[in-house]
Structure 1
């Protein structure tokens, strides 16, 4: 009996993209404006946010498709804070107090301290990573930014935005 071996290396090829982690405390729309200004791109807010965990966590996303370079730029928030109200326990009190809990969810749980991720999708090898990183670090409102090795991420499926 002959043994047949299927090689599917071409079918399940990894998507080539660069991932940059950004630490800053400014709002998402302000960061998108500053990146547009300093990098010469045109990020715009998508009509619908990224929705994970069945409406428990929602992350803002900005996107721009560069047709000349065949590149897609995506800026996604990494932190989602939700407020939950605990059910009241009947107490013998004149006033009722509701206890509120703020829960924090992360798009990429391995990087809890990162505020935003800039994902640059490109089918070809992307050689401008050092230039982009230095341009981002020149923005005064950004504390720090660095490249992330995507192959080391456990939750890289969360980076599929379409």
Structure 2
């Protein structure tokens, strides 16, 4: 009897480019500004990217535009999600009846905690004018900086699957 061994390896294609964007504006405003500068038509998807982290449901808004002429897809997604968590008070003390809350921030890609947004670009062509895109994004008034992230630095690539 022959024994067949199947090895399942996590194979997420590296055929995308990821641009990190530092900007303190709301997601709809940064999507609008990117649309204006890059002549895109990013629209918010009907379904957000949902995860369950530490008994809390977190939701990251996603904006998407697909350029069928160039076979290119753009996804803008927020990296941060904030929610309120109830903190139990000590049983003995002056403020036992007071309920306190703390703000907890979760990250889509925890290895990039200082990044506010990611622009994921998937293209069937190998040539994407990244320098022009990044310089145009950096010219937006409220954007602090934008730069390309090397795919080898991304530890949680499975969080970037939006389909």
TM over 0.5: yes
* Equivalent in the alignment of 2:28: 29
- The alignment of Structure 1 onto Structure 2 pairs a total of residues equal to 151
For the 8 Å contact 1:23–1:143, the answer to whether it is kept is yes
Q: What is the CA-CA distance between 1:103 and the residue it aligns to?
A: 1.0
Distance in 1 separating the partners of 2:145 and 2:118: 12
Equivalences for residues 11-160 of structure 1 within 5 A: 14-53=13-52, 55-87=56-88, 96-160=97-161
Q: Which moved more, 1:151-160 or 1:91-100?
A: 91-100
For the 8 Å contact 1:16–1:124, the answer to whether it is kept is no
List runs of 5+ in structure 2 lacking aligned partners.
1-10
For normalisation by structure 2, the TM-score amounts to 0.85
User: Alignment partner of 1:53: what SS?
Assistant: strand
Distance in 1 separating the partners of 2:150 and 2:70: 23
Q: What is the CA-CA distance between 1:86 and the residue it aligns to?
A: 2.8
User: Alignment partner of 1:132: what SS?
Assistant: helix
For the 8 Å contact 1:17–1:121, the answer to whether it is kept is yes
Distance in 2 separating the partners of 1:108 and 1:20: 13
For the 8 Å contact 2:14–2:151, the answer to whether it is kept is no
Q: Which moved more, 1:124-133 or 1:17-26?
A: 124-133
User: Alignment partner of 1:42: what SS?
Assistant: coil
Query: What are the Cα deviations for residues 10-61 of structure 1, in whole angstroms up to 9, with x where unaligned?
Result: xx67241110000010000000000000000000001111101265321111
List runs of 5+ in structure 1 lacking aligned partners.
1-11
